[in-house]
C-alpha cells in the first residue's frame, strides 16, 4: 500500500469514527431523556385526540342538548311572550339562562333575549346580549348588529349607533342588509350634523346598490345632504 493510500484510509477511518461518535451521542441523549420525550410525545397525542374528540362528539352533543332546551323559549318568542322568553316558565329555562355557552343555540338565545329586552325598553342590557349573537349567517348576523345600532339610537348614543350600522353594512355585501344598514347609518350622521359623511354613504348606495329599493329617491337625499354640508 502506498503512503498516499495509507493516509486516505486513515482519514476515512477517522471520519467513520467521528460519525459513529455523533450517532452514539444522539442515542445516549435519547436514552438519558427517553422518559421526558415519551411524556411530551404522549401529551401532544392527548391534545390532538382531545381536540378531535371535542369537535367530533362533544360539540354536536352540546348543540343537541342546547337546542332541546331552547325549544319552548323559541315558541314563546314566536308568540311574542316576552316575559316567558326572559324569565322562563318555571319548568323550561329562559333565553338569558341559555345564552353565553358558545353554541349556535346559545347565540339564538342571546338574540331572543336581546330582542325581548329591546322591546321592553331595556336597551343597555339588550346590547350586551345582542353583541353575543355573532351569527355567521349572511342575513341574521348583520340584522342583529343593526339592532345594536337601534339600541344605541334609542339611548341617544349616536356615535356608537353609527359605528354599529357601519359594521353591519360591512359584514356581508348583499343587496338587502348592506344598503339597509347604510341607510340607517346615513340618517344617524344627518342627526349628528355630519352631512359630508351622509353624502358619502348615500353616494355609495347609489353606486353599489342602484337596483335596490334603498336607491329610490337617493338623488334627493344626496342633494339635500350636499346643501346642508355646504352650509355647515
Kindly report, residue by residue over 97-109, the tens digit of the pLDDT: 988 877 788 888 8
CA distance 151 to 160: 10
pLDDT of residue 58: 43
Cα distances from 25 to residues 80, 92, 123, in angstroms, run 75, 66, 69
Ordered by where they begin, the domains of the chain are 1-134 (no CATH), 137-232 (1.25.40.10)
Q: Where residue 156 falls among pLDDT bands split at 50, 70, 90? A: very high
What would the grid cell of residue 74 be? 323559541
Flag whether pLDDT at 165 surpasses 60. yes
Distance, in Å, from the CA atom of 18 to the CA atom of 12, rounded to the nearest integer, reads: 10
Q: CA-based angle 121:105:166, to the nearest 5?
A: 55
pLDDT of residue 106: 84
| pTM of the predicted protein model | 0.71
Measured distance CA(142)–CA(151) in Å, rounded: 14
Tell me, letter by letter, the H, E, C secondary structure of the chain. Answer: CCHHHHHHHHHHHHHHHHHHHHHHHHHHHHHHHHHHHHHHHHHHHHHHHHHHHHHHHHHHHHHHHHHHHHHHHHHHHHCCCHHHHHHCCCCCCCHHHHCCCCCHHHHHHHHHHHHHHHHCCCHHHHHHHHCCCCCCCCCHHHHHHHHHHHHHHHCCCHHHHHHHHHHHHHHCCCCCHHHHHHHHHHHHHHHHCCHHHHHHHHHHHHHHCCCCHHHCCHHHHHHHHHHHHHHC
Residue 16: what pLDDT? 38
Amino acid at each position: 500500500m502506498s503512503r498516499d493510500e495509507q493516509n486516505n484510509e486513515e482519514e476515512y477511518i477517522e471520519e467513520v469514527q467521528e460519525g459513529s461518535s455523533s450517532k452514539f451521542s444522539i442515542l445516549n441523549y435519547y436514552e438519558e431523556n427517553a422518559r421526558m420525550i415519551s411524556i411530551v410525545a404522549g401529551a401532544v397525542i392527548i391534545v390532538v385526540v382531545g381536540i378531535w374528540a371535542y369537535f367530533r362528539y362533544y360539540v354536536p352533543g352540546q348543540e343537541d342538548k342546547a337546542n332541546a332546551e331552547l325549544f319552548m323559549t323559541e315558541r314563546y318568542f314566536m308568540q311574542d311572550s316576552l316575559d316567558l322568553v326572559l324569565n322562563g316558565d318555571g319548568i323550561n329555562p329562559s333565553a338569558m339562562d341559555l345564552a353565553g355557552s358558545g353554541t349556535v343555540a346559545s347565540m339564538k338565545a342571546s338574540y331572543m333575549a336581546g330582542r325581548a329586552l329591546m322591546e321592553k325598553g331595556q336597551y343597555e342590557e339588550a346590547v350586551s346580549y345582542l353583541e353575543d349573537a355573532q351569527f355567521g349567517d349572511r342575513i341574521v348576523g348583520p340584522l342583529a348588529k343593526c339592532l345594536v345600532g337601534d339600541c344605541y339610537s334609542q339611548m341617544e348614543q349616536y356615535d356608537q349607533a353609527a359605528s354599529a350600522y357601519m359594521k353591519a353594512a360591512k359584514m356581508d355585501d348583499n343587496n338587502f342588509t348592506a344598503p339597509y344598514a347604510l341607510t340607517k347609518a346615513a340618517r344617524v350622521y344627518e342627526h349628528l350634523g355630519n352631512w359630508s359623511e351622509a353624502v358619502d354613504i348615500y353616494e355609495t348606495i347609489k353606486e353599489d346598490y342602484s337596483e335596490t329599493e334603498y336607491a329610490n329617491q337617493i338623488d334627493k337625499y344626496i342633494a339635500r345632504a350636499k346643501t346642508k354640508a355646504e352650509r355647515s
